[in-house]
A and B are shown apart, each in its own frame.
Chain A
Amino acid sequence: MSRGFDGFGSAYFDGDRPVGEEVSLHLANHNLQIGLDDGNTLFWPVKDIRLLPDLAGKKGYVLRLTTDPLARLYLTDRSLMTFLPTPRGKIPARGRRRLLAWAVAAVAAVALQIAVLVPLLADRLAAFIPPSGERALGAATLDQIRRVLDDTGLDPLSYCENPAGVAALTRMTNALNQGKDRLENLSVHVLDHPMANGFALPGGYVVLFRGLIDQAESPDQIAAVLAHEMGHVWTRDPTRHALRSAGSIGVLGLVFGDFAGGAAVLFLTERLISARYSQQAETDADTFGYTRLGAANVSPAVMGDMFDLLRDTAGDTNQLLAHFLSHPTLSQRIDAARAAVDASRSYTPILDDTSWAALQKICD
């Protein structure tokens, strides 16, 4: 049985010349017969005919054959559509394997870079940064952290600068920072933020959050954190870390698309603050801290007390910190701190009661 269709306004394009040929259209034996002007007739099996997807408008539509990537049939008679079994069927795609290869390569390249190349390069390069450059890197990183941590989004997070408190902090810092290995350029700041944490930045910046001072039970516990962070300054761990993130921010922004650039900065700032140095680096900083605490006549055991306190109080407020603190090696570090106590000595608090009270009010 044969069926004819209205070919008026329809055109066949052979895929070589941009000139339409008028057609007559018939359907017979599961073939669309396309009669051309020159007397030739094309046979398109209906099961292989596809409608071009996402066509705009109702006026006219375009058909193609799965086996011919170029030829097109422009039609105006929509009644033909009902005789096509799979007008929206699949057209075999090519190059899936190559796509997979590049996808794997892309993921591997990003991972290799973030996990291996950037840290390796940053660690090597950090040794060549002069003190003034290190200082500038620290100042830039501190500015960035202050901006990100601010909730209002207007001003950077403010420093706590109550004069009496600053004087007490300076006294504590000086007590810890003396002797032949004195750290040059050390500057200690308190930021007005409730997080119970402290961190070190390149160029001798050590930052304590207000939350840490609020939760500490004695000035010695603050001194313990300060001494530990000074250990990081001594080994220049923060310089290596800051250089790494300078390289990585761009990479993450690229992968997550342009709109997530802000999120990438946020993520990396979080990483800088809760900087996870290698286990060896932490142990070294602890050891440095015991020495300094001992030299200031403070019991190294306070460092263990501080870890204990952080583990108890921070556990339910900050998941990241909680995860960090529940790390099994933390118990070892607490034990190590208590083992560093010299039983034959009599230790004294690092600050008298007046200065400790002043330090607790540094953010007022």
Chain B
Amino acid sequence: MSVDFVGRRGALFWLALKTGFFTIITLGFYRFWMKTRLRRWYWSAIRPGGHPMEYVGEPLEKLLGFFIAVVILTFYIGIVNLLLMFLSFAVFSTASVGYLASFAGVVPLWFYARYRARRYVLSRTRWRGVRFGLEKAAWGYTWRAVAHWCVTLISLGALWPRMTFYLEKYVTDRTYFGSARLHQDGHWSMLYRAAIPLIIALLLLAGSMVWMLWYDPVFGPEGLSLSGIAHDILTDGTVVYPLARPERLLLVPIALAGILYGAIHYRFVSKRLMAGHKSAEGITLASRLSGPRVAFIYTFGSFIAYSVLVVGVGALAIAGLAVFGPSALVFLDLGIEEASLDIPQSVAVALLVMFYLAIFLLWNVLYNTFVTFPLMRHLARTTSLPKRYGLRYVSQRARDEFAEAEGFAEALDVGAAI
């Protein structure tokens, strides 16, 4: 059974733009509706066996979850942070210890939020009328994630695939489709295959660094110093670099681009490799997604989105100039108390805030249109269910009442799913 993806980019663009506009004029509160409606659209576009997925999450429950998270997190951020800052200044006479402790305290919460967000999304996802689900096991995930990160950091990243595999296995083994429980098979060492481009890029960077800085220095024996350059500029206006074959410096951006590609490749190809080892009773999954294709979508899509954003912001600025005259320029300058505006200060501030929000909206809309859309389409169309006879033995599972929704993820900006 293959997975189809229907729906056109233009329709998504208008939906994102419309809901984004409402988000701005409601000062951000419509974002729960925006998120819900975009998810409904994406989910219904993905059609395994021709039948659409369905997203049944509600905006109001997201708003409720956000309020719950605010109540709990204000306590953490207000009171706990205050105590941490006090101890930091009283004992260590510096702010950095307090910031560090505060950050260290948020890290577990971040993993916790990520698991809860996934549980919420799965519990609100249906296909052919049957619910998906994830067990309540967020704290187990949290301490495992922290432990895996420690191991990964101690091994200087060499055991990263082990972390990827075991965390994904933890979640997959607790995922249900109706009564059918998913199972993650395979071994963590298989993920090294996905890391090959990244490893090559890292070796290239390390190798070229050794070559250019140590073995055959590109900056000459005396090295490069800022005072030397400043001296050259001040004395005769030209800079004389003592460079030996400077074209070799091109290796650095090449290696950095390779690392970026390698990171995207690892993230998605490891998903593909693990998807091939996911199964339930009588159901198997397979993916044919292409690492280069995903990397292309990310880079090219971000580039288009960014270009359109720049053009859009320019157009907005010109429109602002046309409407308000040159005084609109002082919006960009926050020193409002000095500027003499011919419009009231409150109006100016409101317009400034709107402009600020409009840029975020535009970026969000463009990112959805040029990155998320093609990415979802590629992921959907490369996924299939080779074995599916087990579907007829699946039955419905009970509804997962979930008051807090993805409130923590929303408040902490975890960026789960879409």
Contacts and interface: CB of A to CB of B under 8 A. Distances in A.
Interface of A: 9, 11, 13-20, 52-60, 62, 70-72, 74, 93, 95-96, 98-99, 102-103, 105-106, 109-110, 113-114, 117-118, 121-122, 125, 128-130, 132-137, 140, 151, 194-195, 243-244, 246-248, 250-251, 253-259, 266, 317-319
B281 to A, nearest CB: 13
Query: Which 10 interchain pairs have the tightest Cβ spacing?
Result: A56-B7, A57-B6, A247-B82, A56-B45, A250-B77, A13-B129, A18-B128, A54-B40, A133-B89, A106-B67
B93 A133 contact: yes
Given A52-B44, A195-B337, 17 more contacts: A17-B178, A19-B128, A55-B52, A74-B52, A93-B58, A99-B63, A99-B64, A102-B67, A103-B63, A106-B71, A125-B82, A133-B92, A136-B93, A243-B82, A248-B78, A257-B28, A266-B334
Contact of B338 (A19, A96, A194): A194
A125 to B, nearest CB: 5
Nearest to A195: B337
- Chain B CB count within 10 A is highest, among A18, A136, A194, for A18
A17 B130 contact: yes
B44 to A, nearest CB: 5
B79 A317 contact: no
Interface in B58-85: 58, 60-61, 63-64, 67-68, 70-71, 73-75, 77-79, 81-83, 85
16 contacts: A17-B391, A20-B51, A54-B44, A56-B45, A96-B60, A99-B67, A103-B64, A106-B67, A118-B79, A136-B95, A137-B89, A151-B333, A247-B77, A251-B74, A251-B78, A317-B337
A156 B396 CA distance: 62
A215 B133 CA distance: 69
Contacts of A17: 130, 178, 391-392, 394-396
B335 interface: yes
A108 B156 CA distance: 46
Contact of A254 (B44, B356, B411): B411
B79 A113 contact: yes
B78 A70 contact: no
A72 B129 contact: yes
Given A18-B127, A72-B128, A151-B333, A55 B41 contact: yes
A6 B235 CA distance: 87
B71 A109 contact: yes
B37 interface: yes
Interface residues of B, number: 69
Interface in B2-17: 6-8, 11-12, 15
Nearest to B357: A259
Contacts of A122: 82
Given A52-B44, A129-B86, A317-B337, A102 B395 contact: no
Contacts of B42: 56
B8 A118 contact: no
Interface string B240-266: 000000000000000000000000000
B6 A13 contact: no
Secondary structure class of chain B's binding surface, majority of residues = helix
B79 A117 contact: yes
Contacts, number: 197
B403 A98 contact: yes
B94 interface: yes
A250 B78 contact: yes
B128 A13 contact: yes
- Chain A CB count within 10 A is highest, among B28, B52, B335, for B52
A137 B97 CA distance: 12
B78 A118 contact: yes
Contact of A317 (B63, B128, B338): B338
B201 to A, nearest CB: 31
Contact of B360 (A55, A256, A259, A319): A259
Nearest to A132: B93
- Chain B CB count within 10 A is highest, among A121, A194, A247, A248, for A247
Contacts of B228: none
Contacts of A98: 64, 403
Nearest to A124: B86
A319 B335 CA distance: 13
Contacts of B345: 319
A130 B395 CA distance: 65
A18 B391 contact: yes
